[in-house]
């Protein structure tokens, strides 16, 4: 600048939004007669951290060196940017529930994994140098395949070609033809009359063999059903919607025919009638859903939602098709007579213990027979007033109480049995039941039920030959968890520093190690292996894993554990009874998994609002299907969750409130109410393993607090529950 002089003030040279840095010419040093020098204007939106390194003035050269540290906006507040973007995406989902949302852009080092865990990211290749900065998100799994291309122009990011890999569902699956019985009111009444007028004493007097009597009665009932109930054959397409009636399908064909004819007036009229019939069909289906909600028919509601959303259809290999139970048709006296005869003779009719084994995949990708779970029935039963939350809370309490002392750590062995229910020995079980003072007749009845059971495998339309088996208990049978619990009742820990947690066939061994002495823990592991060998239970060394929880500042590599000469894998996290436990005892993986599932269910909620269900019904659906997920095992992890994770959970609730249009209980309130209810249930049950931790003070008005040294222990269930009960 030729006119730059020392006498010129900065205020005369300032520009709005810019910073001024000047090096005025020194007339004595430069030998010049006119003013001048070097001047920089730095945009404040680009950089606010500027430092003058050096400046020089001479007859030969004048210079000014400055160091600029530019302001890069993605580093400003990445979490706030993610939350804002997630809120905007959820608003779009509420407004357009049927639309496919695709999120594209330069995310730098941020991502949507925490805020929107159900969205999948498809760009895996580097987009700038060795980093993947550009992302593409959508909710459709395996929707695109990303291929890097040449840089476009002077861009420093590569161009990414996203190739669709999705195929229409209609092209992936063939139409299914199903034949079902129609349980109409007229047919049910006719069948009931037929069975009520039957002389059942004739069947009983014809034979003294219980098997023949039961088989004859059941065969006769099936014969009556086949003769009276009408059959219906239906062709189902994978993209069918539940409101798409045969009349609507016929009108659509007429509309397509009008379009092909080229008659615009005819097509316009056909389109009008199709739209009108479609609105009427959706309205009728909405009323049907409301009736199902009112009648608490959740199975029918879910079947309709699966058809609407293509979410886990009935033909999926991951789930058994639902079979609606037939209505009661005759007096229960016949069934009671057969059951009492079975108890008196200590025999179970062969036809009543015949199993149809339907293999259900344990994994999405099947690699062998071990990836299937043989399920005979679909109901389970456990001991009253005991839950998986109790087992997890007791296990964590033992670990955290031990880790509150210095120089301690814990080794947790998650034991896996190979087909636990299938290896029960009926004779050995009968001896164990007798030792527990179970009546001898009931012991013989259970033994007869477990021996000589006929079963065959059904996979699709293929049925295998039947075989007779004696060991084991049917997986899925209502008695199996109870029988297995009684079978393993004598498996206990003999040392106070080793805890054994059992829940049905899930067994966990917890070694509380002090001063590096693992003798008791390793002895109990050896005792468990020996006990399994004597009781015909097979340990699966490949699936049995160990997790070490160690918060000591100075640690050395711990000696590995072996099971039957097979080394045990050490893991950083494990899904223990539905809750993900990590070696640092943090709850972010569990909460992320719950949020992902809840956001998937939010799609159903938006679909129901689109069908114009009233807010009361929507709130009922939210409570049963979304809130139940968000609060799954909430007494285990909520008190130890971070503020950020709690806010993520609450944002799902806020999103549901905007869809429903009414206030919903907060996660904090639900945690408090459920913790108090769970604690009250434990204090009222003297046989509960955690009952002794709720010790009343001499006054009887408050409970004795548990002394804790770390926030981990303080925020676990039992100390938190006592604080809540004391603040009533």
pLDDT digit string, tens, across residues 565-612? 788 888 988 998 888 999 999 999 999 999 999 988 898 888 888 878
Last residue of a domain, one of 548, 582, 616: 582
CA 639 to chain centre: 20
Average pLDDT, the chain: 82
Token output for 725:
């009960």
pLDDT (0 to 100) of residue 318:
41
Same domain, 720 and 606: yes
Q: Are 510 and 394 in contact (CB under 8 A)?
A: no
pLDDT at 2 over 60: no
Q: What values do phi and psi take at 400, rounded to 5?
A: -70, -35
Please calculate the CA angle 21-25-29 and round it to the nearest 5 degrees: 135
Q: Is residue 224 part of a domain?
A: no
What backbone phi and psi angles, to 5 degrees, belong to 650?
-70, -30
Reported as a pLDDT band with limits 50, 70 and 90, residue 306 is low
Characterize the bridge pairing of strands 453-459 and 355-361: parallel
Report the number of distinct structural domains present in the chain: 4
- Which residues, 6 or more positions from 155, have their beta carbon under 8 angstroms from its beta carbon? none
| Nearest by Cα to 401 from 321, 496, 333, 320 | 496
Residues 27, 54: one domain? yes
Per-residue pLDDT reduced to its tens digit, 132-159: 889 999 888 888 888 888 887 777 888 8
Confidence (pLDDT) at 663 = 92
pLDDT, tens digit, 9 for 90 and up, residues 279-299: 888 888 877 777 776 666 666
> In angstroms, rounded to a whole number, what is the distance separating the alpha carbons of residues 681 and 386?
10
Tell me: pLDDT of 313 over 50: no
Residue 431 in any domain: the answer is no
What pLDDT, on the 0 to 100 scale, is given for residue 373?
61
Residues 577 and 594 in one domain: no
Check residue 363 and give its pLDDT: 64
Residue 170 confidence class, pLDDT cut points 50, 70, 90: low
689 is a domain residue? yes
- What is the sign, positive or negative, of the torsion defined by CA atoms of 584, 590, 595, 596? positive
DSSP-based helix, strand, coil % in the chain, nearest 5: 40, 20, 40
Comparing 254-263, 321-330, 444-453, 662-671, the range with the smallest average pLDDT is 321-330
Task: Mark which of 20, 54, 71 sits at the end of a domain.
Answer: 71
Whether 623 and 553 map to the same domain: the answer is: no
Asked whether residue 380 is domain-assigned, the answer is no
Look up the domain containing 107 and give its range: 75-166
The DSSP element (H or E) to which 258 belongs, if any, is: helix 246-261
Q: Which of these three, 564, 582, 600, is where a domain ends?
A: 582
pLDDT band at 381 (very low <50, low <70, confident <90, very high): very low
Q: What pLDDT shows up at residue 547?
A: 92
Q: Are residues 15 and 92 in the same domain?
A: no
Structure confidence at residue 598 (pLDDT):
92
Residues 613 and 512 in one domain: no
Q: Which helix (H) or strand (E) holds 279?
A: helix 264-294
Whether 443 maps to a domain, the answer reads no
Establish if 317 belongs to a structural domain. no
Tell me how far apart the alpha carbons of residues 221 and 215 are, in angstroms, rounded to a whole number: 10
Q: Is there a domain that residue 67 lies in?
A: yes
Q: Which residue, among 381, 346, 376, 367, has the nearest Cα to 486 in the 3D structure?
A: 381
What burial class does residue 227 get, using C-beta atoms within 10 Å of its C-beta: 0-12 exposed, 13-18 middle, 19+ buried?
A: exposed
Which phi-psi region, left, alpha or beta, contains residue 520 (left: φ > 0; alpha: ψ -120 to 50)?
A: alpha
59 and 102 belong to one structural domain? no
Task: Let me know whether 655 and 697 are in one domain.
Answer: yes
CATH at 519 = 3.30.70
Residues 653 and 668 reside in one and the same domain: yes
pLDDT above 90: residue 668: yes
- Residues 66 and 79 reside in one and the same domain: no
How far is 266 from 248, CA to CA, in rounded Å? 17
Greatest alpha-carbon span in the chain:
134
Same domain, 59 and 129: no
Residue 650 has pLDDT above 90, yes or no: yes
Question: Both 635 and 685 in a single domain?
Answer: yes
Q: How large is the average pLDDT for residues 40-60?
A: 84
DSSP 113-162: TTT-TTSEE---S-SBTTB--EEEEESSTT-EEEEEE---TT-SS-EEEE
- What is the mean predicted confidence (pLDDT) over 215-227? 87
Would 341 be classed as within a structural domain?
no
Share of the chain above pLDDT 70, in %: 88
């Amino acid at each position: 600048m030729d006119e730059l002089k020392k006498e010129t003030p900065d205020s005369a040279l300032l520009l709005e939004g810019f910073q001024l840095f000047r090096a005025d010419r020194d007339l004595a040093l430069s030998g010049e007669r006119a003013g001048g020098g070097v001047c920089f204007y730095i945009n404040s939106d680009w950089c606010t951290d500027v430092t003058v390194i050096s400046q020089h003035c001479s007859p030969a050269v004048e210079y000014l060196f400055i160091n600029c540290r530019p302001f890069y906006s993605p580093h400003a507040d990445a979490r706030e940017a993610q939350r804002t973007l997630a809120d905007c995406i959820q608003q779009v989902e509420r407004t357009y529930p049927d639309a496919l949302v695709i999120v594209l852009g330069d995310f730098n080092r941020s991502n949507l994994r925490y805020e929107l865990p159900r969205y999948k990211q498809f760009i895996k290749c580097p987009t700038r140098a060795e980093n993947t900065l550009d992302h593409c998100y959508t909710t459709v799994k395996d929707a695109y395949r990303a291929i890097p291309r040449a840089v476009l122009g002077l861009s420093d990011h590569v161009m990414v070609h996203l190739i669709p890999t999705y195929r229409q569902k209609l092209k992936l699956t063939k139409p299914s033809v199903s034949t079902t019985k129609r349980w109409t009111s007229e047919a049910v009444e006719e069948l009931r009359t037929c069975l009520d007028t039957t002389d059942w004493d004739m069947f009983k007097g014809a034979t003294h063999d219980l098997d023949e009597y039961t088989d004859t009665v059941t065969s006769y009932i099936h014969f009556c059903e086949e003769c009276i109930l009408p059959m219906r054959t239906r062709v189902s397409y994978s993209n069918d919607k539940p409101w798409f009636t045969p009349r609507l399908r016929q009108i659509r064909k007429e509309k397509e025919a009008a379009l092909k004819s080229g008659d615009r007036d005819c097509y316009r009229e056909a389109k009008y009638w199709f739209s009108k019939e479609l609105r009427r069909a959706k309205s009728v289906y909405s009323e049907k859903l409301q009736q199902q909600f009112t009648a608490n028919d959740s199975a029918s509601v879910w079947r309709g939602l699966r058809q609407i959303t293509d979410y886990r259809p009935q033909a999926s290999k991951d789930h058994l098709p639902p079979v609606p139970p037939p209505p009661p048709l005759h007096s229960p006296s016949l069934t009671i007579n057969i059951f009492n005869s079975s108890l008196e003779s200590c025999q179970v009719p062969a036809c009543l213990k015949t199993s149809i084994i339907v293999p259900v995949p344990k994994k999405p990708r099947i690699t062998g027979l071990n990836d299937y779970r043989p399920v005979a029935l679909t109901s389970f039963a456990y001991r009253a007033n005991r839950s998986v939350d109790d087992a997890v809370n007791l296990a964590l309490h033992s670990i955290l109480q031990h880790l509150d002392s210095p120089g301690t750590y814990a080794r947790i062995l998650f034991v896996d049995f190979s087909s636990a229910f299938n290896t029960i020995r009926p004779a050995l079980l009968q001896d164990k039941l007798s030792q527990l003072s179970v009546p001898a007749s009931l012991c013989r009845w259970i033994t007869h039920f477990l021996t000589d059971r006929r079963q065959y495998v059904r996979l699709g339309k293929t049925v295998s030959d039947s075989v007779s088996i004696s060991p084991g208990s049917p997986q899925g049978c209502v008695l199996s968890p109870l029988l297995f619990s009684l079978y393993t009742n004598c498996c206990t820990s003999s040392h106070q520093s080793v805890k054994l947690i059992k829940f049905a066939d899930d067994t966990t061994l917890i070694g509380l190690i002090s001063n590096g002495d693992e003798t008791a823990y390793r002895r109990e592991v050896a005792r468990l292996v020996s006990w399994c060998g004597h009781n015909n239970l097979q340990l699966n060394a490949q699936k049995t894993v160990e997790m070490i929880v160690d918060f000591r500042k100075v640690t050395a590599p711990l000696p590995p554990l072996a099971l039957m000469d097979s080394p045990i894998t050490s893991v950083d996290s494990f899904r223990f009874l539905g809750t993900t436990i990590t070696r640092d005892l943090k709850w972010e993986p569990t909460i992320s998994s719950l949020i992902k599932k809840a956001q998937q269910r939010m799609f159903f909620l938006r679909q129901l609002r689109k069908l114009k269900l009233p807010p009361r019904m929507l709130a009922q659906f939210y409570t049963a299907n979304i809130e139940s997920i968000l609060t799954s095992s909430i007494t285990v992890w909520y008190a130890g969750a971070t503020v950020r994770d709690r806010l993520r959970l609450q944002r799902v609730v806020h999103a549901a409130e905007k869809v429903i249009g009414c206030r919903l209980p907060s996660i904090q309130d639900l945690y408090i109410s459920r913790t108090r209810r769970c604690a009250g249930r434990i204090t009222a049950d003297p046989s509960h393993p955690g009952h002794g931790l709720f010790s009343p003070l001499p006054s009887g008005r408050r409970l004795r607090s548990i002394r804790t040294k770390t926030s981990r222990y303080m925020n676990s269930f039992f100390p938190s529950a006592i604080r809540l009960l004391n603040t009533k």
